[in-house]
Amino acid sequence: MDRVKDKVALVTGGGKGIGKSACLLLAREGAAVAVTDIDEEAGREVVEEIRREGGKAEFYRLDVSSEEEVKEVMAAAADKFGKIDILVNNAGIAGVNKPTDQIPAEEWDKVIKVNINGVFFCTKHAVPYLKKAGGGSIINLSSIYGLVGAPDLPAYHASKGAVRLMSKTDALLYAGDNIRVNSIHPGYIWTPLVEELGEQSPDGKEAFRRALDAKHPIGHVGEPDDIGYGVVYLASDEAAFITGSELVIDGGYTAR
């Protein structure tokens, strides 16, 4: 119940999928949570759910690709809760699914702006608050596709590779400030993002899911809480000696 008691967490893309799970589990373990998302309805519902369970949360509309918005929301959350200890850089998009030689530059840039610049802006503007709090934990959602390649989604895979190394660089830069920075590398997790990929699949959503299940040695795709529990672990003091590391939660996908 108290694994992150009295800590304050800010989660991006917290309205759905993995981000929603992270918000709910962090709150259940005692953190006050700034739930942020571009989907206001979904984000507000998560806040209501946390409050119904007796937890503390507030919603902030935040598009992570806007540095101005990031700066304002960090300040507002720190003002509301008195500090920020935990940043979960979760917001991300799959983006354009075409071979590299057919991707228009603006579609490439769209993915980079959310998946890379978003992590950069949020980290940049959270660090002063984490320093002020005497340290903290930054958790960046990379992917199995920050570790291995696949013949699809070129911009997504590029972005997740970048997030992996941004995490290590920041781990080194801020270790002296007692700020830990780690990446999480999920296999396929059944969230709205992956469901949408299924809907676009020519074989239909169910066949898509079965094909994904078969890619994981454990026999099925993951659920958001499989990642949410990883977030709680890295956010908590149980992970006090862990920085610059890669938490792979992928049902064995990358073990082969």
- List Cβ neighbours of 48 (8 Å cut-off, separation of 6 or more): none
- Return the DSSP state at 189: B
Cα–Cα distance measured from residue 192 to residue 134, given in angstroms and rounded to the nearest whole number? 36
Query: Smaller CB distance to ligand NAP: residue 90 or 137?
Result: 90
Contact 170, 138 (CB under 8 A): yes
222: β partners = 189
Query: Smaller CB distance to ligand NAP: residue 133 or 221?
Result: 221
Residue 156 appears among annotated catalytic residues: yes
Query: Smaller CB distance to ligand NAP: residue 16 or 180?
Result: 16
CA angle 11, 243, 246 (to 5 degrees): 75
In the complex, the smallest distance separating the C-beta of residue 2 from ligand NAP, rounded to whole angstroms, is 26
Which residues lie near ligand NAP (CB under 6 A)?
12-13, 15-19, 37-39, 42, 62-65, 90-93, 114, 118, 141, 143, 186, 188-189, 191-194
Query: Out of 60, 129, 145, 156, which one is annotated catalytic?
Result: 156
In the complex, the smallest distance separating the C-beta of residue 151 from ligand NAP, rounded to whole angstroms, is 17
In the complex, the smallest distance separating the C-beta of residue 100 from ligand NAP, rounded to whole angstroms, is 19
- List Cβ neighbours of 176 (8 Å cut-off, separation of 6 or more): none
In the complex, the smallest distance separating the C-beta of residue 56 from ligand NAP, rounded to whole angstroms, is 21
User: For the purposes of burial, counting CB atoms within 10 Å of the CB of 99, is it exposed (0-12), middle (13-18) or buried (19 or more)?
Assistant: exposed
Query: Smaller CB distance to ligand NAP: residue 92 or 230?
Result: 92
CB atoms within 10 A of CB 172: 12
Catalytic annotation, residues: 156
